[in-house]
Amino acid sequence: MSDHWDIYFTTIEDQFASVVLDMDVWKEIDQNKFTFPIALRIEVKNPSESGVPVDQEAELINELEDRIINDIDGIGYNVGRVTTNGTRDVFFYFNNSFDLYALAEPIFNEHGYNIETFSIDEEESWNFYFGFLYPNKYEIQHMGNRSVLDSLQDSGDSLEEPRRVDHWIEFNNSTDEIEFIKKVKSMNFNIEEKHEKTDGIILQIYRNDRVDPQSINDITDMFVDLVEEFNGRYDGWETQVIK
């Protein structure tokens, strides 16, 4: 496993879902050797309203998962998990067919948990990891948004006050940048400055906006789509702390 684990939130079948993923496991192992994806499904006993385990139950399930992970060291890798609607699916890639149920059942049964295991069919190797588990372009940005919001809240910001939010966009040429500026000005964004470098242009723009999670996610979703129209790359945002 890599050291780059992260979490993002999405919806699956109209239900809130929490996805915890090893973002770089595919860089650390030989994908051609670990081609047997298997899932461990755990029924959460006392899920929260959002459908995930909390407090002591969350700690217990994590501990039991760690026991599984330790026991398969060298023959399989835990690549992530999805928790939604009172169910947690933990995903592994093995180097051969493996009876995961025989290993996991006594560990979880000891604490009264019902589990099942099932193999995942893939048309192409690691298609499930990249096609289902891996975050899409919006979710990747949401992960970055959450990091900024966590930093703001750690500094005492309630995220309730609208404030100036600065965004950075990179372009390969001035033609795309000029057309982009025309577009964002019509959306009430202001141009702070731009930096020309040998391989392109970095544009800084700003506008007063709310920064609660839903509001900032909506804004960055818009930018992720908009910059593609102008062959640019969205490079994130920042704002001041308001206490």
pLDDT at residue 130 is higher than 90: yes
User: Is the CB of residue 164 less than 8 Å from the CB of residue 208?
Assistant: yes
pLDDT confidence band for 141 (50 / 70 / 90): very high
Comma-separated ranges of CATH 3.30.70.970 domains in the chain: 137-239
> Which of the 8 DSSP states describes residue 10?
E
pLDDT for the residue 197:
80
The residue type found at 118 is: F
pLDDT tens-place string over residues 16-38: 999 999 999 999 899 999 999 99
pLDDT tens-place string over residues 143-200: 999 999 999 999 999 999 999 999 999 999 999 999 999 999 999 999 999 888 878 8
The residue type found at 206 is: Y
Q: Distances from the Cα of 155 to the Cαs of 101, 136, 151, 159, 238, in angstroms?
A: 45, 29, 6, 11, 14
pLDDT for the residue 205:
98
Fold observed for domain 5-133: Alpha-Beta Plaits (3.30.70)
pLDDT for the residue 221:
97
pLDDT for the residue 194:
87
Average pLDDT score, the chain: 95
Q: What is the rounded CA–CA span in Å between residue 165 and residue 25?
A: 34
The pairs formed by 49-54 with CB atoms below 8 angstroms and a separation of 24 or more are: 50/16, 50/18, 51/15, 51/16, 51/17, 51/83, 51/84, 51/85, 51/86, 51/87, 52/16, 52/18, 52/83, 52/84, 52/88, 53/83, 53/88
CATH superfamily of 137-239: RraB-like (3.30.70.970)
